[in-house]
Chains A and B, each alone.
Chain A
Amino acid sequence: MKMDRRWIARVAATLFAVALLYPFTALFAHIGPWQWGEDIRGPAMSSMRVSLLLTSYSMLIIVAIGTPVATYIAHCKMRERLLWQAVLLIPILLPPLALGILLSLAFGPYGAVGGWLEHFGIEMTNSATAFVSTQVYVGMGYYVLGAVAAFDAVPQMLQKQAALLGLTPWKVFLRVTLPLSRLGLAVALSIAWVRAFGEFGAVVITAYYPSGMPVQLWVNLQSFGLPAVMPLLMVFLAVALPLPWLVHVLAQRRHA
């Protein structure tokens, strides 16, 4: 009887997983032969290069700024910490299109910062800088919140013990906090990567050019239809998903 119940639960969970993965069957849908001619392939490969390169820059900026911020928040008292978390949630909760409009206005030629940057020849619309800064805005909140959780998971007493053993706060961070939170940080970064890499709504407003993969997918859909989208979609999935997926699986295995 007990066994039966377990099997019913297992079957139900399997059905749930099948439903969750069901959209992927669309990769085998009969939509006619996929198009991968030069007029599709050239822009597609270019968009992949743009996405990979610029998202990598975005991640470097996110880690460089987000890690110290997360360290600071992790050491804050509860009231201040809640305030910071509320601030970080704002770009996460904003609809991407709204974020894109706000960014293009704030950093555009008529915004205070945008006008100032333009004075130095830095274009904040339809440029690599615009692309990267939009991704940073999109991914930063995810990374910092994840990093705070990763730092929280390192026992305070271990860090104090390391300090009592003569390590300066910086060395405690490097030799204790960072190694013990590295998997959590990798998970936070992988979420930020997926979120930034796949961002369409905000990026299409601020940086239609240079076109990244999500924008190129939309362009292909509009211009050529589904058969021209599918090959790029396959490339998109192959590039965006495996690394973060692997990081998550490894993190789960470590905690198992």
Chain B
Amino acid sequence: MLKAHIVKKRREMTVDVSLELKRGDALGLFGASGAGKSTVLACIAGIEDADGGFAEVGDVQLFPPSLPLHRRRLGYLTQEPGLFPHLTVGENVRFGVPKEIAADGEQNQWIETLRDRLHLGPLWSAPASLISGGQARRVSLARMLARKPPLVLLDEPFAGLDRQLVRELIDDLIFWNQTMGFSMIAVDHQVEVLKRLCPQQAIVLERGKIVQQGTWDELYSAPATPLLRSLLAPI
């Protein structure tokens, strides 16, 4: 479903990572700060231009040549919810739904499902600039899912949230992943978060390169590097 080889030169290293993901798969990208995890996601999303390699989702070539962002059809969540402050919560959620299908009954039903599942009903008419950080993450999740993207990229979207909310959001994402069948790549510093979100497989990066990939059990039982051993060890 996703095939990618990302090459991106940084001042201190070159990120060089190959990925392959099937439909519905959830892949965790793990590693220390500055290992190049976010760079991989940013290049796939098109937020940054890769210096080499390729990426394709299904039969859509993301690069090269670089496909414009609006044609990439993927969801991208970061630490910053990125809500549009001049719009209400409801307008934010509907933002990416094209006008020609916004009036469609099935689409409306889908938006209502997202609204109810993510507890956004009471906030629906509130200005997005006035809601809390936790609420904003839920809105940005709903906004991303409203377009039913086939691929979802999560760059530490739970950073700074309390554990209860993180648990809820992860459960929601797993639920949608299973019901909608989108593929998912998640980046997080917290191994517990990644293990829960992407229980089947993980890739470990160090200085821009893959040092190990496999199931979490494999990583725990035989970590490939001392740094990974240290990162997996309990605090």
Contacts and interface: CB of A to CB of B under 8 A. Distances in A.
Interface string A114-148: 00000000000000000000000000000000000
User: Which interface residue of B75, B78, B95, B143 has the most chain A CB atoms within 10 A?
Assistant: B95
B209 interface: no
Interface string B72-105: 1111101010101110000000011010000000
A173 B85 CA distance: 15
Interface band, chain B: 20 to 34
A163 B95 CA distance: 11
A166 interface: yes
B228 interface: no
B134 interface: no
Nearest to B96: A165
Q: Which of A155, A163, A175 has the most CB of B within 10 A?
A: A163
A167 B70 contact: yes
B147 interface: yes
A161 B76 contact: yes
What's the dominant secondary structure at chain B's contact region? Answer: loop
B45 A158 contact: no
A168 to B, nearest CB: 5
B82 A157 contact: yes
B207 to A, nearest CB: 26
Contact of A160 (B47, B74, B84, B86): B47
B148 to A, nearest CB: 11
Contacts of A167: 70, 96
B126 to A, nearest CB: 17
B74 A164 contact: yes
A161 B147 CA distance: 13
Contact of B95 (A157, A162, A180): A162
B99 to A, nearest CB: 10
B86 A166 contact: no
Contact of B98 (A157, A161, A166, A169): A166
Contacts of A163: 68-70
Given A160-B47, A160-B69, A180-B86, A165 B147 contact: yes
Given A157-B82, A179-B86, A166 B96 contact: yes
A75 to B, nearest CB: 14
A176 interface: yes
Nearest to B92: A165
Nearest to A171: B70
B114 to A, nearest CB: 14
A164 B80 contact: no
Given A165-B95, A180-B85, A157 B80 contact: yes
B86 A164 contact: no
Given A176-B84, A179-B86, A180-B85, A164 B72 contact: yes
Contacts of A158: 82, 84
Contact of B147 (A166, A169, A180): A166
B165 to A, nearest CB: 21
Interface string A19-31: 0000000000000
17 contacts: A157-B47, A161-B76, A162-B95, A163-B70, A164-B45, A164-B75, A165-B70, A165-B95, A166-B70, A166-B96, A167-B70, A168-B68, A169-B68, A172-B70, A175-B84, A176-B84, A180-B85
Interface of B: 45-47, 68-70, 72-76, 78, 80, 82, 84-86, 95-96, 98, 143-144, 147
Interface of A: 155, 157-158, 160-169, 172, 175-176, 179-180
Given A155-B82, A164-B75, A168-B68, 12 more contacts: A158-B84, A161-B76, A161-B82, A162-B95, A164-B46, A164-B74, A165-B95, A165-B96, A165-B143, A165-B144, A172-B70, A175-B95
